[in-house]
Structure 1
Amino acid sequence: MKKTKLPKDYKPYLCTYETQTAIGFINNNFEEQLKNRLELKRVSAPLFVAAKTGLNDDLNGVETPVSFNIPALNREGEVVHSLAKWKRLALHQYDFHIGNGLYTNMNAIRRDEILDNTHSVYVDQWDWERVISREERTLDYLKKVVQDIVDSICETEARVCAKYPNVPLKLSNQVSFITSQELEDLYPTLTPEQREHEYVREHPTTFIMQIGGDLKSGTPHGQRAPDYDDWSLNGDILFWHEALGQALEISSMGIRVDRDAMLKQLETANALHRLNYEFHQKVVDEILPLTIGGGIGQSRMCMLLLGNVHIGEVQVSLWDDETLSEAGEDIKLL
């Protein structure tokens, strides 16, 4: 079965040269929107962290990080999967306070990724994290931040369309909020991915909430690491990608675990051994601040705003022969 699907008669709105210029334009404008709406300060971030510290993002728990030996330190380093836990630790170390936060450009390698139109071994995203109060650990606050991010994306799209008139305006900032259980109730015979496509087709800007815990069917909507997002206060932002005819996830985000949520989710995931790690101890001892955060895909956003159908049109990575053959001469994969 082919992993890459290319719509019939597809032609990008911009040539490769124009696309490169547009990528920089999108990145600069979205960063401006995001940092102003969420009161974020840009910081430097690690490309790798020390192995076996519990600081790297475990994603679904089965991915193997790219690791390497550092002779000068006599220890192993791991290329990050994401910065979900590092950011919260950094907010503590950098002495950020309630109401402000940080963002950074995150570059990662996910060697086990299954390659298709929207997935690559190389991952680039805006990773952000904001300090919140105990009173803000609510679904209402989560929805407010989601709306801020969606508004930032839509404003960036408006600027792109003004600069490149042949790129059509297509996004809506009207967000449909739905829980993963409500989604399963609507489409009980479909897989989680199929549910997303069906729902987002009718609700082109959607936030699916509460991902990680088991649904009534006995399985979760999607796998989530148990030690950063609170599964009752998280979710994914998805937009309808017309050219691909599918939902496109732009961001995974959420209010992070407090002490009680950490202990409960580690027990559920049979991962209580992680309490031996420094990060987890600091959460349980309530040393780290309460936060909300997430990642926002840079290349995926460029795909969405520019109408591209393959992530290789907007980022440089490695592609298998089947994908390169399918793309042919008409679609330039970088």
Structure 2
Amino acid sequence: MNNLIIPENYKSSLDLIKTQKAIKLIKDYFQINLSDKLNLIRVSAPLFVDKQSGFNDNLSGSEIPVSFNVLQDGKNVELEIIHSLAKWKRNALASYNIEIGEGIYTDMNAIRSCEICDNTHSYYVDQWDWEKAISPDERSEEYLKKVVKDIYDVLLDTEEMLFQKFDDYKKILPKDITFVSTFELEEMYPDSSFEEREKLFAKEKGAIFISKIGRNLKCGKPHSLRAPDYDDWDLNGDIIVWNPILNDALELSSMGIRVDSKTLKRQLEESKTTNRLNYEFHQNLINGKYPECIGGGIGQSRLCMFFLQKAHIGEVQSSTWPKSMIEECKIHGINLL
């Protein structure tokens, strides 16, 4: 049994070749305009990191990374395929001597073997991971919202570009993105699950930014789990849009202002993961070797899926899917790559 949604009377307006051309068009346009808007330069990034470095993203803490051993300097060293580059990018800012107000972005390709495949989830994850150096006084909700609006402007510009390029293209995004915290969502929908809250509010507004993810709500649980050692739980959030094809909310980006030394220690204590303080990344942060920064990831395949109004992420990304899902998609005209 798979978690597949089949939209009624679904038929993509683009065949395989036109889809590939449109994917390149979206990716080229979006990353160029994102880098201009946020003042970012493109850098190269690793596919795997040394486990002992602490550079891998622990996500919610329960996911197990794909790993393998290599022989280095006469010793066996365990390397991990990245989940994301959330921590690695902060180290890169220091290595590249990035000035305040400038930043980096890269193509992040990851394997998340614990994912459950469905219309929007894949074992293979591709993102634009970006990170920008900021001043200490920019560690604020006001600055976070400014950057979110900048990213949303690039989304709107990309949609307008597609509207001009393709006949009968239908715009989906609202003019503005709406901000809401997880605490406000809890007040608005006290009897709904965390997922239902996102869905209800995203459907009403069209595009939302849900902030303050990771800290416990009044119910005693967080809206969703978030690693304690990169985002400041009071200054982070997700960009979520309403996907009319699937009649569901779709997360396009997770981002936030990163922890400083004080916040890192507090969140590690709250999550009972102070053992991470032994890692290279965490020691560098505590010892002031990393700049203050803001950053996040923007899903490349999800962005293409959304803008091309596809029913399955496999229509814009080549990956592996359960045989039952492949067969059912084929029956209903969903062409997986």
Class of the TM-score when normalised by the shorter of the 2 chains = over 0.9
1:169 maps to: 171
2:55 maps to: 55
2:11 aligned counterpart, secondary structure: coil
1:211 touches 1:223 (CA, 8 Å); kept in 2?
yes
1:13 touches 1:166 (CA, 8 Å); kept in 2?
no
1:223 aligned counterpart, secondary structure: coil
Write the letter of the residue equivalent to 1:125: Q
1:219 maps to: 221
The CA distance in 1 between the partners of 2:66 and 2:158, in whole Å, is: 34
1:288 maps to: 290
What does 1:49-198 correspond to in 2, within 5 Å?
Answer: 49-72=49-72, 74-198=76-200
The CA distance in 1 between the partners of 2:325 and 2:147, in whole Å, is: 37
Write the letter of the residue equivalent to 2:43: V
Residues 273-302 of structure 1: CA deviation (Å, up to 9, x unaligned): 111111111211222100000000000000
1:275 aligned counterpart, secondary structure: helix
Distance change in 2, residues 1:205/1:252 (3 Å)? same
What does 1:207-246 correspond to in 2, within 5 Å?
Answer: 207-246=209-248
The CA distance in 2 between the partners of 1:13 and 1:264, in whole Å, is: 50
Residues 41-90 of structure 1: CA deviation (Å, up to 9, x unaligned): 00000000011321100001011111111235531111100000000000
Please report the TM-score for the alignment, with normalisation by the length of structure 2.
0.97
Matching of residue 37 in structure 1 with residue 40 in structure 2: no
The CA distance in 2 between the partners of 1:269 and 1:249, in whole Å, is: 24
Would you identify which runs of 4 or more consecutive aligned residues in structure 1 move more than 4 Å? none
The CA distance in 2 between the partners of 1:85 and 1:105, in whole Å, is: 15
1:21 maps to: 21
2:52 touches 2:280 (CA, 8 Å); kept in 1?
no
The CA distance in 2 between the partners of 1:128 and 1:52, in whole Å, is: 23
Write the letter of the residue equivalent to 1:55: F
Residues 188-230 of structure 1: CA deviation (Å, up to 9, x unaligned): 1111111000001001010000000100000000100000000
2:52 aligned counterpart, secondary structure: coil
How far off its partner does 1:304 sit? 0.7
Write the letter of the residue equivalent to 2:213: I
Q: 1:333 aligns with which of 320, 331, 336?
A: 336
2:213 touches 2:236 (CA, 8 Å); kept in 1?
yes
Q: 1:250 aligns with which of 228, 232, 252?
A: 252
1:181 aligned counterpart, secondary structure: helix
2:311 touches 2:334 (CA, 8 Å); kept in 1?
no
Write the letter of the residue equivalent to 1:45: A
How far off its partner does 1:2 sit? 4.1
Return 138-147 or 316-325, whichever deviates more: 316-325
Provide the alpha-carbon RMSD of the alignment: 1.0
Q: 1:265 aligns with which of 267, 272, 281?
A: 267
Return 323-332 or 16-25, whichever deviates more: 323-332
Gaps of 5+ in 2: none
1:309 aligned counterpart, secondary structure: coil
1:78 aligned counterpart, secondary structure: strand
2:131 touches 2:294 (CA, 8 Å); kept in 1?
yes
Write the letter of the residue equivalent to 1:333: L
Write the letter of the residue equivalent to 1:331: I
Residues 299-327 of structure 1: CA deviation (Å, up to 9, x unaligned): 00001101001000000000002211220
Please report the TM-score for the alignment, with normalisation by the length of structure 1.
0.98
1:292 aligned counterpart, secondary structure: strand
Write the letter of the residue equivalent to 1:40: L
Identity across the alignment (%): 51
2:27 touches 2:300 (CA, 8 Å); kept in 1?
yes
2:325 maps to: 323
Write the letter of the residue equivalent to 1:87: K
How far off its partner does 1:166 sit? 2.8
1:328 aligned counterpart, secondary structure: helix
Residues 150-194 of structure 1: CA deviation (Å, up to 9, x unaligned): 110110111112111232122124011000010011111111111
Write the letter of the residue equivalent to 1:171: L
1:4 touches 1:117 (CA, 8 Å); kept in 2?
yes
How far off its partner does 1:15 sit? 1.0
Gaps of 5+ in 1: none
Distance change in 2, residues 1:163/1:179 (3 Å)? same
1:64 aligned counterpart, secondary structure: coil
